[in-house]
Structure 1
Amino acid sequence: MHLTSAPLVAWGNAWLSGHVGLDDAVDAVERRGGPNLIGTVPPGDLPFDSGVPLRTSLVRLRGLGLSAFRLALPTWGDPCGLIGPAELNQAAIEAREGVLVQLAERQVGLVPSADRRGSSYVGVSWAPYPANDGIPQVPDLADAERRLKLTLVRVAEQLQGVDDVASFAPAVHRALGDLGDPGTPPLAHGYPPRAHRVAAQAERLAKVVSLAEPGSGRGMSAHQIELRAQALRELDGVVRRALVAAHAAIELP
């Protein structure tokens, strides 16, 4: 799971909370995905201009009361972090990610896509959408961490002796053993230690999930394939919620 939206949320919130400057925040975001631009802006009253660099857009949004970035990691049937309307939800679900940007008088959504030009230029294009007012339901960080650990243990037990051929179960067990060592935190300055820990654990588990494509399962019975698919769905759901919870766990002005 390579998320484009997560760095913007983490470093954007670090900037809003005064822990980093704007240039440092944008530089950190673009180190992960390349140059960031606003894509084609549809007709309407969205506060963006097409083709404008992210840095310029953030300055303008700050003047409109920008106060928070919120991470959305939805899938079909599970609009995690979204609040509508349908056009924004569909775009974010298809991308499997998005960002809600809170302004003084409204909320807007940004959905990323790869921006490729020629053979060497690789960046990110952000498509803006109107968003409904309101704050999406975000999992409690402590509860998200607990569910992450419990689900990992349960999945590892369920797949014991089932998925060794596909190498998913061994990867789950290795991840379980690594939970005490979060490695390099994926969040930005200003986030509490628990948020750094949960985000790092969730990112590691997201890689585990990505190792196992749902359609694979060579040498397995139909029942084993279904068990494996259920485990993948369950683990993916708690990983996405843990990442959303971790990226929301910062004190904003």
Structure 2
Amino acid sequence: MCCPSATLSVWSAAWLGGAAAADDTLDALLAWGEAHEVVAADPATADALGLPVAGSVPAPPAELLTVLRRLAAHGARLVLPVAGDVRGLGGPGPLTDAALKAGEATVFPSAGYGAVPQPVAEGLLRWTVYPMAAPVPPEHVGLGEAEHDLTEAIRVSAGELRSLDVARERPGVRDELSARLRARPRLDWPPRTPGRALRVLQRADEVGAILALAAADEPGGAMSASAAGRRAAALRPLADAVRRARCAAVAEAVRVFSEQADPRP
């Protein structure tokens, strides 16, 4: 499914651009937890941003918006790193380590910081702000390209799975898929979020739910180790395409809100 960092990326861009109220931005984050808190990863970051350091009493999420406004942190970017692909995080360092562990981050390249969410208790999500180790060069994957790549990955993966005779539908799989989709958090997006970006996010969520089912489905005893490896290899490009589609959809929404920024001071 989509993730807290996607919500923060899009809504912070809308808020900084004058297209969303601060209260609505904070309310949108509640889909991911009843409460949110914010800390800085280290004393230097705490001093620079005016946030409490990790291990002390955390700040409310409104403080993060205040920091973003002060830094003029336009151009939020969703990063969904996996082992072997940590592009967009600025190189090795605490931010990259934390983002890999969480599987996500929101980075603000113009400001030089990134925020990583982590559940710390039931209903409580902590955002830790890290400095980026190095500037991140611009990277653009068009929404149309990402959508095409997702469609192609679905086609190729389905063909390979059929050739392995492991794509047969097991009893109850449609009900399982429907249950996973219904269990997703009910997300709100800012007014004027591009419709195509929302459609791509929805498609990526649907494919992601299928991948989650496939990952949870233990291969039967008739499947050899080599066939299981080929099965995993067939699904890997699809998972990569889902990540790229999500990042491209969020990037498109952020671009639209940044370009429509309210010119008033």
TM-score normalised per structure 2:
0.79
The structure with the greater share of residues assigned to helix is 2
Task: Determine if contact 1:145/1:198 at 8 Å carries over to the other structure.
Answer: yes
| 1:93 Cα offset (Å) | 1.2
2:247 equivalent to 1:239: no
**Which residue of structure 1 lines up, in the alignment, with residue 41 of structure 2?**
41
Task: Determine if contact 2:78/2:251 at 8 Å carries over to the other structure.
Answer: yes
Using a 3 Å threshold, how does the CA distance of structure 1 residues 77 and 41 change in structure 2: closer, same or farther? closer
> For 2:88, what is the secondary structure of its paired residue?
coil
1:141 aligned to which of 140, 143, 168: 143
| 1:199 Cα offset (Å) | 1.0
Task: Determine if contact 1:82/1:89 at 8 Å carries over to the other structure.
Answer: yes
Letter in 2 for 1:7: T
Task: Determine if contact 1:185/1:200 at 8 Å carries over to the other structure.
Answer: no
Using a 3 Å threshold, how does the CA distance of structure 1 residues 2 and 65 change in structure 2: closer, same or farther? closer
Q: Distance in 2 between matches of 1:19 and 1:70?
A: 18
Letter in 1 for 2:31: R
1:192 aligned to which of 191, 194, 199: 194
1:221 aligned to which of 224, 249, 259: 224
Structure 1 vs Structure 2 CA RMSD: 2.7
**Which residue of structure 1 lines up, in the alignment, with residue 204 of structure 2?**
202
**Which residue of structure 1 lines up, in the alignment, with residue 181 of structure 2?**
none
Using a 3 Å threshold, how does the CA distance of structure 1 residues 53 and 185 change in structure 2: closer, same or farther? closer
Give the fraction of aligned pairs with identical amino acids, expressed as a percent.
31
> For 1:36, what is the secondary structure of its paired residue?
strand
| 1:158 Cα offset (Å) | 1.2
Task: Determine if contact 1:199/1:242 at 8 Å carries over to the other structure.
Answer: yes
| 1:61 Cα offset (Å) | 2.4
**Which residue of structure 2 lines up, in the alignment, with residue 17 of structure 1?**
17
Q: How does 1:160-179 map to 2 (within 5 A)?
A: 160=162, 162-164=165-167, 167=170
Letter in 1 for 2:102: A
> For 2:76, what is the secondary structure of its paired residue?
strand
2:72 aligned to which of 65, 69, 74: 65
| 1:165 Cα offset (Å) | 6.2
Letter in 2 for 1:23: D
Letter in 2 for 1:10: V
**Which residue of structure 2 lines up, in the alignment, with residue 180 of structure 1?**
none
Task: Determine if contact 1:191/1:249 at 8 Å carries over to the other structure.
Answer: no
Using a 3 Å threshold, how does the CA distance of structure 1 residues 151 and 108 change in structure 2: closer, same or farther? same
Letter in 2 for 1:241: R
Consecutive unaligned residues of structure 1, counting only runs of 5 or more, are 176-183
Q: Distance in 2 between matches of 1:5 and 1:58?
A: 14
| 1:33 Cα offset (Å) | 2.5
Consecutive unaligned residues of structure 2, counting only runs of 5 or more, are 53-57, 179-185
> For 2:43, what is the secondary structure of its paired residue?
coil
**Which residue of structure 2 lines up, in the alignment, with residue 127 of structure 1?**
128
Using a 3 Å threshold, how does the CA distance of structure 1 residues 76 and 200 change in structure 2: closer, same or farther? same
Q: Stretches of 4+ moved more than 4 A in 1?
A: 184-187
